[in-house]
């Protein structure tokens, strides 16, 4: 997964002339705050220079996670959103990702931090697409959200984990109230992120939502013990990104977990299961761990399974295996 070229150039332009030392210090300080102060409801970022560094350091990964989740949702739903709400937009990764998939007419970004809004707007000003250029940025605290931001597609990515636990489910209900077609909530792919997503899933089912993805069913989540449901997306990293994150390889693997809830029933009936973890491919057989309506199932598919085997050979973590 790669950032759209005009977004990548726009993030690099933000820091042209900046000293590498200052950017590296900002990057380290941001990582420290995200590590120590997430889940406290505190503001984690207040300066424009930090927001610019956030866009360089984190947007490729959050964009990748959002785009991958949308891609998976599109496999089970043919919904066509025209309006989009990016709740806790940060520097706008969700809007750029959604706009790559859909020809959006209207984008609204809700964000609490002026610094993030300012950088998000600057980046969108560089877009060639009108929906991004004309996006509405509104300063708002999601904990005080009302129902006046209704949109076909609502995305909230890497936001709920920053809030106090007692605020999260209240916000989820409000996000759902603002959803006309599909709501996608993405969290870091950690055990804690997954525990949040599991609670969110329960709340959304209680609210009458149809689960679109990743679960191929609406039964109780079958993940037990210290296991957690998460997916990985590989994102390309540029020169500045490598420097800020002190990495050598030209890519980064972002782990994320998510839930997508729909107003309409989705096309999940022919799904055998969603692959969790990397399939094991041996000569003549593929073994996959899948989440299914009957729980977590280990399935071995062999050459004898014909076209299903051909499908299974191509499948990777996070994808669905469908009956042919
Ligand atoms: C880690 S960033 C994620 C930004 C963006 N969604 C992305 O995926 O790149 C979290 C964002 O949520 C915003 N945020 C956290 N709590 C918020 C709240 N209560 N109301 C509005 N925005 C909030 C933060 O200011 C920050 O910009």
pLDDT in tens, 266-314: 988 889 899 988 889 898 999 999 999 999 999 999 999 998 899 899 8
What is the Cα–Cα distance from 223 to 225, expressed in whole angstroms? 7
Same domain, 44 and 174: yes
Of residues 253 and 81, the one with the higher pLDDT is 81
- Per-residue pLDDT, 249: 77
Could you count the other beta carbons within 10 Å of the beta carbon of residue 238? 15
Task: Kindly report, residue by residue over 113-132, the tens digit of the pLDDT.
Answer: 999 999 999 999 999 999 99
Minimum CA distance residue for ligand 1 atom 27: 90
Number of domains comprising the chain = 2
Domain closes at, from 212, 229, 262:
262
Same domain, 75 and 168: yes
Q: Do strands 151-157 and 179-188 pair parallel, antiparallel, or not at all (unpaired)?
A: parallel
Same domain, 303 and 227: no
Task: Kindly report, residue by residue over 143-174, the tens digit of the pLDDT.
Answer: 999 999 999 999 999 999 999 999 999 999 99
- pTM value? 0.93
Q: What is the per-residue DSSP string for 188-228? A: ESSHHHHHHHHHHHHHHHHTTPEEEES-SSSS-----TT--
Task: Kindly report, residue by residue over 185-237, the tens digit of the pLDDT.
Answer: 999 999 999 999 999 999 999 999 999 999 999 999 999 888 899 999 988 87
Same domain, 134 and 206: yes
Task: Write out the residue range of the structural domain in which residue 275 sits.
Answer: 271-322
- Per-residue pLDDT, 49: 81
User: From the DSSP assignment, how many helices (H) and strands (E) are in the chain?
Assistant: 11, 13
Ligand 1 center to residue 160 CA distance, Å?
Answer: 8
Quick one: which atom of ligand 1 is closest to the CA of 43?
25
281's tokens: 């491919």
The pick from 58, 88, 110 for probing ligand 1's pocket by mutation, whose C-beta has the most ligand atoms within 8 angstroms, reads 88
- Per-residue pLDDT, 245: 72
Return mean pLDDT, the chain.
Answer: 91
Minimum CA distance residue for ligand 1 atom 4: 90
Model confidence at 11, pLDDT cuts 50, 70, 90, reads very high
Nearest CA to 66 out of 172, 157, 188 is that of 157
89's tokens: 């937009």
Same domain, 99 and 214: yes
Same domain, 254 and 215: yes
* CATH number of the domain that residue 86 is part of: 3.40.50.150
Same domain, 281 and 181: no
Can you tell me the mean pLDDT for 43-47?
A: 74
Same domain, 277 and 218: no
What is the Cα–Cα distance from 231 to 106, expressed in whole angstroms? 29
Our answer on whether the CB atom of 163 is closer than 6 Å to any ligand 1 atom is: yes
């Amino acid at each position: 997964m790669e950032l759209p070229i005009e977004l990548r150039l726009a993030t690099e332009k933000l820091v042209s002339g900046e000293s590498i030392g200052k950017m590296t210090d900002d990057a380290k300080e941001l990582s420290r705050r995200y590590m120590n102060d997430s889940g406290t409801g505190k503001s984690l970022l207040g300066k424009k220079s930090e927001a610019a560094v956030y866009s360089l350091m984190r947007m490729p990964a959050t964009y990748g996670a959002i785009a991958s989740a949308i891609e998976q949702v599109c496999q089970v739903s043919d919904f066509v959103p025209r309006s989009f709400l990016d709740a806790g937009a940060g520097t706008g990764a969700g809007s750029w990702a959604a706009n790559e998939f859909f020809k959006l007419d209207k984008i609204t970004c809700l964000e609490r931090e002026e610094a993030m809004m300012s950088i998000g707007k600057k980046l969108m000003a560089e877009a060639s697409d009108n929906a991004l250029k004309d996006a509405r940025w509104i300063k708002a605290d999601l904990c005080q959200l009302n129902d006046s931001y209704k949109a076909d597609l609502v995305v909230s990515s890497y936001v709920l984990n920053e809030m106090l636990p007692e605020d999260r489910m209240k916000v989820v209900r409000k996000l759902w109230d603002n959803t006309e077609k599909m709501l996608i909530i993405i969290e870091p792919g950690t055990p804690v992120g997954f525990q949040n997503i599991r609670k969110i899933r329960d709340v959304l089912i209680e609210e009458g939502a149809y689960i679109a993805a990743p679960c191929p069913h609406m039964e109780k989540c079958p993940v037990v013990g210290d296991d957690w449901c998460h997916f990985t997306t590989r994102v390309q990293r540029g020169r500045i990104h490598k420097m800020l994150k002190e990495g050598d390889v030209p890519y980064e693997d972002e782990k994320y977990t998510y839930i997508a809830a729909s107003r309409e029933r989705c096309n999940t009936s022919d799904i055998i299961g969603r692959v969790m973890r990397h399939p094991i491919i041996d000569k003549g057989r593929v073994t996959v761990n899948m989440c299914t309506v009957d729980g977590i199932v280990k399935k071995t598919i062999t050459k004898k399974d014909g076209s299903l085997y051909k499908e299974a050979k191509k499948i990777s973590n996070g994808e669905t295996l469908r009956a042919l």
